[in-house]
């Protein structure tokens, strides 16, 4: 069951973060202030899906690793504290701050500064989670690594 839950929860988490990030970029570049307010106030509600998905991914991942500490498991394990810290210390507080500011109609320097920080942190987590997914596919054989043979 863990082998089913882990990739599904991981995909849900990755797609949720990608949705948050892309929605933010598109509404900031192409949308109205009302659209920005709608997106920024909706994102914290998305935590109700994201947080359990990340918890399920992490929990099943540690369980599936079964004490292994080398290879791709070690690489994935090193990324997880960065992903978690980025989410807990930057992304969640930023999203709550931006939802509050947007709801009050305060699109000031603080709003756009935190928005920039959130976009950078979100992109970082997207990259780290994508690499973990790639490495997970490699571990299960769903993604073959290409080996380049030396030229003679």
Give the pLDDT of residue 147.
59
Mean pLDDT for the stretch of residues 110-117: 97
Residue 117 reports pLDDT greater than 90 = yes
> Region 18-35: what's the mean pLDDT?
95
How high is the pLDDT of residue 63?
Answer: 86
- Dump pLDDT digits (tens) for 69-87: 788 888 888 888 899 999 9
Radius of gyration of the chain (CA): 18
DSSP 86-126: IIIIIIHHHHHHHHHHHHTT--SHHHHHHHHHHHHHHHHHH
Percent of the chain with pLDDT over 90: 65
Domains of the chain: 2-140 (1.20.120)
- CA 64 – CA 10 distance, rounded (Å): 13
Supply 2's token pair: 């863990």
As a whole number, mean pLDDT of residues 4-33 equals 94
> Which pLDDT tens digit goes with each residue over 46-58?
999 999 999 999 8
Tell me which range, 12-16, 70-74, 136-140, is most confidently predicted by mean pLDDT. 12-16
Contacts of 108 (CB under 8 A, 6+ apart): 101
pTM of the model: 0.85
């Amino acid at each position: 069951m863990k082998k089913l839950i882990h990739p599904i929860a991981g995909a849900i988490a990755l797609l949720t973060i990608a949705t948050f990030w892309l929605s933010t970029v598109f509404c900031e570049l192409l949308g109205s202030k009302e659209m920005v307010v709608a997106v920024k106030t909706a994102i914290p509600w998305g935590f109700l899906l994201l947080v359990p998905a990340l918890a399920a991914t992490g929990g099943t991942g540690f369980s599936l690793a079964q004490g292994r500490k080398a290879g791709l498991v070690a690489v994935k394990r090193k990324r997880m504290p960065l992903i978690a810290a980025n989410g807990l210390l930057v992304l969640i507080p930023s999203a709550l701050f931006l939802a509050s500011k947007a709801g009050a109609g305060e699109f000031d320097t603080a709003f756009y500064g935190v928005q920039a920080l959130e976009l950078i942190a979100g992109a970082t987590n997207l990259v780290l989670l994508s690499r973990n997914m790639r490495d997970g596919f490699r571990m299960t054989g769903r993604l073959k690594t290409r080996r380049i043979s030396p030229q003679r």
